[in-house]
Amino acid sequence: MAIELADVPIQVVSPRGVVAHRAAPVSSATLVAAALAVAATLYLGFAVSGRQAALFLVGVAAGVVLYHAAFGFTSSWRHFVTSARGDGLRAQMLMLAVTCAIFFPLLGQGEAFGQTLRGSVSPVGVSVLAGAFLFGIGMQLGGGCASGTLYTVGGGNTRMLITLAAFIAGSVIGTAHMPWWSARASLAPISLISALGAWPALAASLALFAAIAAATIVVERRRAPLAHTAAPAPQTSRARWLRGPWPLAAGAIGLAAVNIATLLIAGRPWGVTSAFALWGAKALAALNVNVEAWPYWSTPAQRAALQAPIALDVTSVMDIGLVLGAMAAAGLAGRFAPAWRVSGRSAAAAVVGGLLLGYGARLAYGCNIGAYFSGIASGSLHGWVWLVAAFAGSALGIRFRRGFGLGT
């Protein structure tokens, strides 16, 4: 139950349409999340670096954006498959277009403000196809993607704690099997920016985004004409930006800003799931499992990450910030109310889905953020391959949902 500790103004519309202002309570969830965020920022700033503290705050912003815009990759794909609603997919295309417009020129020159920049460019092969397909199934069974799992956990969804735990387990299992998958047939990493040049690659990418957005409109008009009917624009106010919900377009632009800020501060794009593998490996190491002997963790960089504190890992710090940002946003929206009852079938779906999410993300060199969003924004061919394979897996996962009583 939320405890009323402070007030923030909101708008109330009377039956006559007159907008009045009154105070709405800020729950304890918001204040606890804010206090933890301030403490973490100060700790990172003094104990690690100002850069790490800034990246943590970017993660907090990501959590707020994801929660307030309800920006779900999983639900957007499911709604398009089941009811031809394409607004979520169009928002993703807007997000990618805005990000690419900034990323491509920056990555083309290779540096900004004295910071070396590198994109998320990975090989294309059997591993990516299999991993993304499994990830797509896992999205629908687990109830979220990588970013979706974190922001719903922060928002108080207790079922997603099960998904997250299984996600971590699947990730570390994926690292154990990665040498076998890496030996399967694949192409070397292909960068559209390197192959075509930044501006031609950007033009081609924008054309593809526009084509996908147009295709969703055509599908809506044919399959669900009412889905394409424009809804009246919601009334905006300052309180709405604090409490939500936000328009999907605002979420798309907000997430683009998050990824751009990550690139400029960290020198590389936003990622999520490498932290899950690291957390799982650290847990096994604490149980005296010799994880460092695994080929995946035997490289100097991975071994150093395994031995270093979590506070030094950029992805971990941003993930934790994301959870706290979503928690604060849920409190502001008055929707932070964890319910601890989860049915057996729903919990089973969360476990299976989480395992597939974690395992698939390792095989595919990333998730919906690291491979799809950041991969395509980096001009990597593997990002487009990931999108096709994961969407196919998601379509199959929607069918599997019925067997777990999750509906469509």
pLDDT tens readout for residues 245-269: 899 999 999 999 999 999 999 999 9
| Total-model pTM | 0.90
Q: Which helix (H) or strand (E) holds 396?
A: helix 381-403
3-state secondary structure of 112: strand
| Distance separating alpha carbons of residues 73 and 372, to the nearest angstrom | 10
* Spatial CA neighbour of 166 closest among 355, 346, 348: 355
Contact 323, 151 (CB under 8 A): yes
pLDDT digits (tens, 9 = 90+) for 1-31: 333 333 333 333 333 343 333 444 568 889 9
Closest residue by Cα to residue 272 from 404, 126, 120, 156:
120
What residues contact 182, with CB distance under 8 A and at least 6 apart?
A: 127
pLDDT at 243: 73
Below-50 pLDDT ranges, the chain: 1-24, 230-233, 235
Angle at which helices 146-154 and 73-83 pack, to 10 degrees?
110
Q: What rounded mean pLDDT belongs to the chain?
A: 89
Q: What is the pLDDT of residue 93?
A: 98
Per DSSP, the residues of 15-72 read TT--EEEEEEEEPHHHHHHHHHHHHHHHHHHHHT-HHHHHHHHHHHHHHHHHHHHT--
Ordered DSSP codes for 136-166: HHHHHHHTS-HHHHHHHHHTT-THHHHHHHH
Please choose, from the candidates 147, 172, 148, the residue with its C-alpha nearest in 3D space to the C-alpha of residue 355. 172
SS3 content of the chain, % helix, strand, coil (to 5): 70, 5, 25
Query: For residue range 291-341, what is the model confidence (pLDDT) as tens digits?
Result: 999 999 999 999 999 999 999 999 999 999 999 999 999 999 888 888 778
According to the model, what pLDDT value does residue 6 have? 34
Q: Is the dihedral of CA 70, 138, 191, 210 positive or negative?
A: negative
For the chain, how far is it from start to end, CA to CA, in angstroms?
A: 30
